[in-house]
Amino acid sequence: MSLFSSESAWLCLAAAAVLGGMLLCKSWSPGQLRSHVVCLAGLWGGACLLSLSLLCSLFLLSVFCFLLYMSSSDQDLLPVDQKAVLVTGADSGFGHALAKHLDKLGFTVFAGVLDKEGPGAEELRKTCSERLSVLQMDITKPEQIQDAHSKVSEKIQDKGLWAVVNNAGILHYPIDGELIPMSFYRKCMAVNFFGTVEVTKVFLPLLRKSKGRLVNISSMGAQVPFQMMAAYSSTKAAVTMFSTISRLELAKWGVKVATIHPGGFRTNIIGSWDDWDKMEKEILNHFSKETQESYGQDYVRTQKSFLQIMRERSSPDITPVLWDIQHAISARNPSSCYSPGRMTYLWMCFAAYSPTSLLDYIMKKCFHSKIIPKALRTAS
């Protein structure tokens, strides 16, 4: 008897095809589309591994498609209706592009910048509408956060603030965690984590009033253990856990929390050669005698080639990130986690569910530096 001779099997196959097609068409952003495809493929692969009959496999697939479709049935975007959004780190990168994007959609945008007189802030003033306000907002300075809060409150009055997008962040010189100076760890934590927490705490009363959205920009590196990124990835992992707990705690107030885990995108967070020269010098200045003997100064200097590799492997098109953030802000029922970027969702799934030994092997093979410390070169 043919596998597809059963009327029940044909019925389940048709149901799975229809529901799956509707689900994938309804996926609003590339990130959601990838996650749905991976979920469906994973379920089918699991059914095959369990050696379930074709009828059972198709039935499970149909049920899963139905549940996914029902869970995404409330994904329609809410009207903009002059909703107000605060975006931190709007000098460049994601924050800069997002401020422009939301302004074009009709949002009232508060663009927090590190330098109110800098080129990024000036461009926002020239290219955006009068709805956009540029705010001096170094998120490591509590007085600037409070001042921004006062200006936002004055402008929105009793409407409440619809969304806060904690985007501001910094990167560090890519080097072994042992060689990263404590000043780098503290600065990354001050901006990427403590800044996010403080902005959230200050603006939450306004979000509660509107029952709005808190969107925190984390990173793929928060869950995937990339070598040479100990300080940056640790702070983003902290942001992810903070977001997860906040999502549970703020649900009773009607505030929805979403975390964005972008993959490799080309933004100014990578920094310039001058920035890397300064960081390289600071690392070498902290070299102890033992570190010098183990690693050698050339080990640090040659790591700068990683800057070019990061630029080459990063996507210049940040549209997927903007779409996912817009969805997190505007969807009636947003996802709790977004993972824009090529292979980002797959890498995060692999890091979460693969055996440690397999994960370590793959990470070493795919992201292993060819540069060898001085002591290991001597020994070999």
Sheet with 163-166, edge to edge strand ranges = 133-136, 108-113, 84-87, 163-166, 213-217, 256-260, 337-338
Please give the Cα distance from 134 to 140 (Å, whole number).
17
Both tokens assigned to 217 = 């920009």
- CB count in 10 Å sphere of residue 297: 14
Which of 267, 283, 87, 79 is CA-nearest to residue 175?
283
How far CA 228 is from CA of 66, 144, 262, 304, 307, in Å, comes to: 43, 32, 18, 11, 12
* Cα end-to-end span (Å), the chain: 63
- Catalytic residue (choose from 173, 232, 338, 345): 232
Please give the Cα distance from 236 to 227 (Å, whole number).
14
How far CA 249 is from CA of 80, 189, 218, 253, 311, in Å, comes to: 26, 23, 19, 8, 38
Q: 315, 341 in Cβ contact below 8 A?
A: yes
Positive or negative CA dihedral for 285, 288, 291, 293? positive
Q: What is the 3-state secondary structure (H, E, C) of 272-294?
A: CHHHHHHHHHHHHHCCCHHHHHH
The residues near 190 (Cβ < 8 Å, ≥ 6 apart) are 140
List helix spans (H) across the chain.
Answer: 7-26, 30-49, 54-71, 93-105, 119-127, 142-156, 182-188, 196-210, 230-250, 273-285, 289-294, 297-302, 305-313, 319-330, 344-353, 356-367, 374-379
Q: Is 69 a catalytic residue?
A: no
Q: 53, 78 in Cβ contact below 8 A?
A: no
- CB count in 10 Å sphere of residue 133: 19
Cross-strand bridge partners of residue 258: 215
Catalytic positions: 232
